[in-house]
Structures are given as C-alpha cells and as structure tokens.
C-alpha cells in the first residue's frame, strides 16, 4: 500500500470515528464505557496508520539519499580542476586516522594526523563528514532541532542582542520639534553545557571489518544525546543544562489557563489569540500524545473537529489549521501543568559549541573483553523572545 493510500485510509477511519462520536454521545456529551472502548480502538488505528506513514516517508528519504550521487562533478578545466583541498578535521587523512584510532590500529603511525583535532579535555573531535551525520541523526531523534534556530559557536558564552522595547512615531504639529524615541536593547547569553554518554563494544565485534562502526555510533549516540537534549529544550531548568520553554523562569509566557481540569475549545481559542498575529503566521503546536488524544474530541463553534488529518504529502496533521508536533517530554495535561505550547519556535536558539568529542577507553572494561567509548558535546538552548511562544496551563485541583 502506498503512502497516499495510507493517508486516504486514515482519513476515512477518522471520518468514521468522528461520525461515531457524534452519534454515540449522550446529552452530556459523554460516551458510554462500551462506546468509549470502541472509539479508542478506532483512534488507535488512526495513530498506528500515522506511524506507518512516517516510517514509509523516512524509508523513501533514505532510498532517495542512497540513490543520490556520491560525489560532485568536476567542473574545472582539464589539467586545472577547481577542486578545493580539504584540511583539518575535514581531510581524508584525519578521517582515516580517526577511525583507525577508534579501532586501535597503527596508533603510532597516525598520531600526528590527529593533532589537529585534539580536544582540550582529551579525546578527539570527530571528522567533519561524520559530525554532519551525527547532527543529522540528532535532528531525526530530536523534533525540537527541526523547529528551533541552530547556531554554531567556537568559544564559551554567546551574547545575542535583543530589542526589548521599540521606538514609535508621533503626530507633530507644524514647526514643532521631533520627539526622540529610541529602541531599547538587551542581551541574552547562551552558554555551553556538557552532555555525554558512554557505550561498550566487544573486542571481537570491533575488530570485525564487516561491522559498520561509524553507523552504529551515529545511531546510538544520536539516540541518547538527542533524547537528553530534547528533554532539556522542553523542561530544562537552566542548572547545568539548557532552559526549556516550559520552565517557569526563562521559558515561554503563559497565554491561557483552563477553568476546569479538561481542555475546552474556548481554552484553545484563548491560547491561539494570546499569541501576537505576526508570530501566528509561522506558529505550530507542541504537546504530548495524550493531549492530542483529548483534543481530537473537541469541536469549534461551527461543530467542526479542531483536529484534522493530512491527506497530502508534505502537509502535516493540524490542530485549528496549524501543524503540531508531539514529544514524550512535553508535560501531560494534569492539574497545574503547562500542557501545550503554541508559537514560532524559531525564536528558541540552540547553540552547538565546537563539535562532538570522542575518546576510546582501553583499560576500563579490559577484563570483560570489551572496549569503551565516550562521546560528549557542548550545547545550550534558550528562548530568545518569550512573547513568541505561549503556553496553556491546566487549572490546579
């Protein structure tokens, strides 16, 4: 079954589920226990179809990448090709030396090639091409990086100027003096917090030439570091880690608070319009899967459901005609929690410092016949303009 066929099938299942809700709700708008179980099964099918669509889309992306050219054509004249020479951590010599060190081959012969990438804290910076694969892996594992603005820094703190107050024009009588109205500037500082992890690999597997070590490390480190980063970007408290958008200090501004324990359409409208119009143009929702499940049952003032499935490639599912993204690190809709964020997430800046650092541990697990590897990077994240994202708070019990 093609991706388009799956989209159409999911849309039909949603139409059936929607009609079922309309026909089975009692006067209080509540389903019976038996009808609730039936609807849950329909919704599970909708969710499962959505996951299968994403898997097939990712598979199509991988196939397209594998079919793409492996090198750039030579455009220079014969005898004088315009091919830039790669240097530093991008050079072929460094790349080969790096992976030989990881596999512990010919250490003395390749030591000099690695000096260019020696990290001040020990270990070696990963080659440029491999770091790109790792960053791409982080993007896949971390939905927040797809929405945020990502910058690279070469040192510690990064100062970002922000206009905290804008000047304005005034009406002037004839021959009257102009009134000075200056912009007021502030600064936001992005630091460099360290996140890392360690893995163990058996000596036999490491020395097996058929074992794709770079692919394994890319996947495993990206999964671990990506998950930790995403958690911090959402709920981090800024102590030794980035400040998340749901954090009380330094996070997004609260746009609405529910009057009940359950989210209503009026609550969603209040949150939607609490965000200034310029930010709404590029705004999206971020919420937990459990919250999406509750919102699927909400209708607007015209009796239309606010959740809508996508039936076309490149167009995501929407809530109130705006795209949404889910993460397990977004708080669930429980009493007193901030359950939904809505806004332009490009105003959240992620600062990557330097690159990934790798180190091989030869002795730590030698008695078990294993080799350890540790990887770390420095990163910070912060919402630069709090008014660009608004949150919905659930009323306390």
Q: What is the pLDDT of residues 8-39, one digit of tens each?
A: 999 999 999 989 988 888 777 788 889 889 99
Hey, what CATH topology would domain 125-166+182-288+327-397 get?
Answer: Major capsid protein gp5 fold (3.30.2400)
Residue-by-residue DSSP string for 113-153:
GGGGGB-TTSSEEPPHHHHHHHHHHHHHH-HHHHHSEEEEE
pLDDT digits (tens, 9 = 90+) for 305-317: 999 998 887 788 9
| Among candidate residues 266, 267, 247, the one with its CA nearest the CA of residue 257 | 267
Per-residue pLDDT of the chain (397 residues; tens, 9 = 90+): 888 889 999 999 999 998 998 888 877 778 888 988 999 999 999 999 988 988 888 888 778 877 777 666 656 555 555 556 666 566 666 666 666 666 665 454 444 444 444 555 545 555 555 555 666 666 666 788 889 998 887 766 666 666 555 567 777 777 777 776 665 556 667 788 888 888 888 877 777 766 677 777 777 888 888 889 999 999 999 999 999 999 999 899 999 999 888 899 999 999 999 999 999 999 999 999 999 999 999 999 888 999 999 888 778 899 999 999 999 999 999 999 999 999 999 999 998 886 777 787 878 788 888 888 888 888 899 998 889 999 999 998 7
The long-range contacts involving 146-149, CB below 8 angstroms and separated by at least 24 positions, are: 146/325, 147/284, 147/286, 147/325, 147/345, 147/346, 147/348, 148/233, 148/345, 148/346, 148/348, 148/349, 148/350, 148/381, 149/346, 149/347, 149/348, 149/349, 149/350
Cα–Cα dist 300/21, whole Å: 15
| Rounded distance between C-alpha atoms, residue 349 and residue 159, angstroms | 12
Please, what's the largest Cα pairwise distance for the chain? 90
Structure tokens at 70: 């492996």
Q: Any idea which residue has 């990502």 for tokens?
A: 150
- Cα–Cα distance measured from residue 133 to residue 98, given in angstroms and rounded to the nearest whole number: 15
- The structure tokens 């609405």 sit at 256
What does the alpha-carbon distance between residue 129 and residue 145 come to, in Å, rounded to a whole number? 19
In this structure, the number of other CB atoms found within 10 A of the CB of residue 223 comes to 16
**Contact assessment for residue 112 and residue 86, using Cβ atoms and an 8 Å cutoff:** no
Tokens 């080969």 sit on residue: 96
Query: Which of 144, 189, 148 is closest to 388 using CA atoms?
Result: 148
Phi, psi of 201, rounded to the nearest 5 degrees: -135, 140
Q: Where are the domains of the chain?
A: 86-118, 125-166+182-288+327-397
Nearest-angstrom CA–CA distance, 101 and 265: 58
Pairing status of strand 348-361 against strand 370-383? antiparallel
């Amino acid at each position: 079954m093609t991706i388009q066929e799956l989209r159409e099938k999911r849309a039909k299942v949603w139409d059936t589920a929607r009609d079922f809700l309309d026909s089975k709700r009692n006067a209080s708008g509540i389903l019976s226990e038996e009808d609730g179980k039936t609807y849950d099964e329909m919704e599970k099918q909708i969710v499962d179809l959505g996951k299968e669509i994403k898997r097939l889309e990712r598979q199509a992306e991988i196939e397209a990448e594998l079919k793409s050219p492996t090198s750039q054509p030579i455009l220079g004249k014969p005898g004088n090709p315009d091919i830039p020479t790669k240097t530093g951590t991008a050079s072929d010599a460094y790349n080969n030396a790096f992976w030989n060190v990881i596999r512990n081959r010919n250490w003395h012969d390749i030591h000099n090639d690695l000096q260019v990438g020696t990290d001040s804290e020990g270990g070696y910076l990963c080659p440029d091409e491999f770091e790109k694969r790792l960053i791409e892996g982080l993007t896949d594992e971390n939905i927040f990086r797809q929405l945020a603005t990502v910058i690279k820094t070469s040192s510690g703190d990064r100062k970002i100027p922000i206009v905290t107050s804008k000047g304005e024009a005034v009406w002037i009588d004839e021959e009257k003096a102009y009134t000075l109205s200056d912009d007021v500037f502030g600064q936001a500082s992005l630091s460099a917090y360290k996140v890392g992890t360690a893995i163990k690999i058996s000596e036999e597997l490491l020395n097996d030439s058929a074992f794709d070590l770079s692919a394994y490390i890319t996947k495993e480190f990206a999964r671990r570091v990506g998950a930790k980063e995403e958690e911090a970007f959402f709920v981090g408290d800024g102590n030794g880690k980035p400040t998340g958008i749901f954090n009380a200090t330094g996070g997004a501004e609260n746009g609405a608070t529910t009057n009940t324990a359950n989210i209503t359409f009026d609550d969603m409208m209040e949150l939607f319009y609490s965000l200034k119009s310029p930010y709404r143009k590029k705004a999206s929702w971020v919420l937990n899967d459990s919250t999406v499940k509750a919102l699927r049952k909400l209708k607007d003032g015209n009796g239309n459901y606010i959740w809508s499935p996508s039936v076309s490639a490149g167009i995501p599912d929407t809530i109130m005609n705006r795209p949404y993204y889910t993460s397990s690190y977004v708080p669930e809709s429980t009493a007193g929690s901030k359950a939904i964020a809505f806004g332009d997430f490009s105003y959240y800046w992620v600062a990557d410092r330097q690159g990934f650092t790798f180190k091989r541990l030869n002795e730590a697990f030698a008695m078990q016949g294993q080799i350890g590897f540790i990887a770390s990077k420095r990163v910070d994240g912060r919402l630069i303009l709090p008014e660009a994202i608004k949150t919905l708070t659930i009323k306390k019990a």
